[in-house]
């Protein structure tokens, strides 16, 4: 497998359709610019769908990739190592923020076990059947995955993207469920952006104290030393300092772009995977939206590099796809406005001409019209 092959498979959203959407927007009864960024979103969707007017987003889906990361053993997370299965169970039981919102918005929620460190019997077979391995290696001292596992994980993400596209999903809210995932993600971003560990180290979705932040920074520093020699090969980079969920999400993002299926990214893990995918296919980010500002410095770095501006900034740090799902109604609203607002009725020359009123000459009418 060579991720660079995706560069020839991925095309940009249709520029001609986008220009047609922009021209239609100029004709709507609401003045241009009055809807702010909603105009831009509607035109982006038109280009992605190759449709003017834009079609409604009717079959969105939340897809969460789940895995445990060995680096969590260093107490770099607000949660105990190996407890991702608890996050998954909460989501399945409808007791997590993303599950509550998915239920409220009537959006199906899909969880894919790429590398959870638990007995398969603890979770439904529909979740665990795709598992690549149980947990990942400690990226500060060893590879996260073998080369074979990395390829399996990428192909898993590609297969999930194909399944969603084939089932009629017209937009994906992409997130992750992991313990230690932000450490691996920050390492990827630091390596690809050429920055130091301290610049990308954040507090994670669960929040950590200063001592844990220092441990996390040290782990990223050590992992960076291992990542820099393999920067030229995206698969080797994912194997060295990534994880099964990150590799799967990278494959998912690339194949979604191939299938012309738009994706809303959530937090730093999705942003890191998107940055890896961009290195393989520079057109791929044209198919993604950044849902929200997560507060993680590595996310900001990655989004800046890809020129993606988040839709929301509400201080939501919980992760798990929550912030991206909050942005979904905004995207749906943009589609509805672009499709359903009527166009201005063109004024014909006959309608524009007025007969002089009694006691008024034609010159008076012209003056009034000019005024």
pLDDT > 90: percent of the chain: 86
Task: Provide mean pLDDT across the span 96-121.
Answer: 97
Average pLDDT, the chain: 92
Task: Give pairs for 253-256: CB < 8 Å, separation 24+.
Answer: 253/157, 253/161, 253/174, 253/277, 253/284, 253/288, 254/3, 254/6, 254/10, 254/157, 254/158, 254/280, 254/281, 254/284, 255/157, 255/158, 255/161, 255/162, 256/161, 256/164, 256/165, 256/172, 256/287
**Considering just the CA atoms, what is the radius of gyration of the chain in Å?**
24
Residue whose token pair is 């409604």: 56
State the pLDDT confidence band at 365, using cuts at 50, 70 and 90.
very low
Question: What domains, with CATH codes, occur in the chain?
Answer: 14-53+339-370 (1.10.1610), 60-327 (3.40.50.10210)
Q: With 80 as the cut, is the pLDDT of residue 22 above it?
A: yes
Per-residue pLDDT at 85 exceeds 50: yes
Query: Which letter does DSSP use for residue 315 in this model?
Result: -
* pTM for the structure as a whole: 0.91
Q: Quick: pLDDT tens for 289-310.
A: 999 999 899 999 999 999 999 9
Report the pLDDT value the prediction gives residue 317, as an integer from 0 to 100: 87
Can you tell me the distance from the alpha carbon of 313 to that of 291, in angstroms, rounded to the nearest whole number?
9
> How would residue 354 be classed by pLDDT, with cut points 50, 70 and 90?
low
Answer yes or no: 320 catalytic: yes
Cα 112 to Cα 132: distance, rounded to the nearest angstrom: 11
CB-based contact 174:270 (threshold 8 Å)? yes
Specify the residue for token string 């800046």.
304
**Per mean pLDDT, which range of 64-73, 199-208, 220-229, 263-272 is the poorest?**
199-208
Q: For residue 350, is pLDDT > 80?
A: no
What value, to the nearest 5°, has the Cα angle with vertex 208 and ends 178 and 201?
Answer: 75
Catalytic residue among 142, 320, 340, 355: 320
Confidence of residue 169 (pLDDT cuts 50, 70, 90): very high
Helix (H) or strand (E) holding 263: strand 263-265
Per-residue pLDDT tens digits for 206-231 = 678 899 999 999 999 999 999 999 99
- At residue 367 the predicted structure's pLDDT band, cuts being 50, 70 and 90, is very low
Q: What is the pLDDT of residue 188?
A: 98
pLDDT at 330 over 70: yes
User: Could you give the 3-state DSSP secondary structure of residue 1?
Assistant: coil
Predicted local confidence at residue 348, as pLDDT: 58
Write down the pLDDT at residue 207: 72
């Amino acid at each position: 497998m060579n991720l660079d092959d995706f560069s020839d498979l991925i095309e940009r959203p249709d520029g001609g359709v986008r220009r047609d959407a922009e021209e239609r927007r100029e004709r709507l009864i609401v003045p241009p610019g009055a809807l702010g960024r909603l105009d831009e979103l509607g035109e982006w969707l038109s280009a992605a769908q190759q449709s003017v007017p834009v079609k409604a987003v009717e079959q969105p889906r939340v897809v969460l990739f789940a895995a445990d990361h060995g680096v969590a053993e260093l107490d770099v997370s607000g949660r105990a190592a190996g407890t991702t299965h608890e996050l998954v169970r909460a989501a399945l039981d409808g007791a997590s923020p993303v599950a509550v919102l998915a239920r409220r918005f009537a959006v199906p929620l899909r969880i894919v076990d790429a590398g959870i460190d638990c007995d398969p019997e603890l979770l439904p077979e529909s979740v665990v059947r795709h598992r690549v391995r149980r947990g990942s290696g400690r990226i500060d001292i060893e590879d996260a995955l073998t080369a074979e596992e990395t390829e399996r994980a990428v192909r898993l993400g590609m297969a999930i993207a194909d399944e969603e596209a084939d089932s009629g999903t017209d937009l994906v809210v992409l997130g992750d469920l992991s313990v230690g995932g932000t450490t691996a993600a920050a390492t990827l971003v630091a390596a690809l952006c050429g920055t130091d560990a301290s610049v990308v180290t954040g507090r994670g979705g669960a929040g950590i104290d200063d001592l844990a932040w220092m441990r996390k920074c040290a782990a990223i520093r050590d992992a960076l030393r291992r990542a820099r020699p393999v920067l030229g090969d995206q698969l080797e980079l994912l194997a060295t300092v990534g994880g099964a969920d990150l590799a799967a999400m990278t494959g998912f993002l690339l194949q979604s772009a191939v299938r012309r299926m738009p994706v809303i990214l959530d937090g730093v893990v999705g942003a890191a995977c998107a940055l890896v995918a961009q290195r393989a296919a520079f057109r791929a980010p044209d198919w993604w939206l950044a849902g929200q500002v997560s507060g993680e410095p590595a996310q900001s770095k990655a989004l800046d590099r890809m020129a993606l501006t988040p839709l929301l900034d509400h201080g939501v740090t919980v992760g798990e796809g929550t912030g991206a799902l909050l942005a979904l109604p905004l995207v749906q609203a943009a589609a509805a406005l672009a499709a359903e607002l009527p166009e201005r009725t063109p004024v014909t020359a006959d309608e524009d001409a007025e007969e002089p009123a009694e006691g008024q000459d034609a010159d008076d009418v012209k003056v009034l019209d000019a005024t």
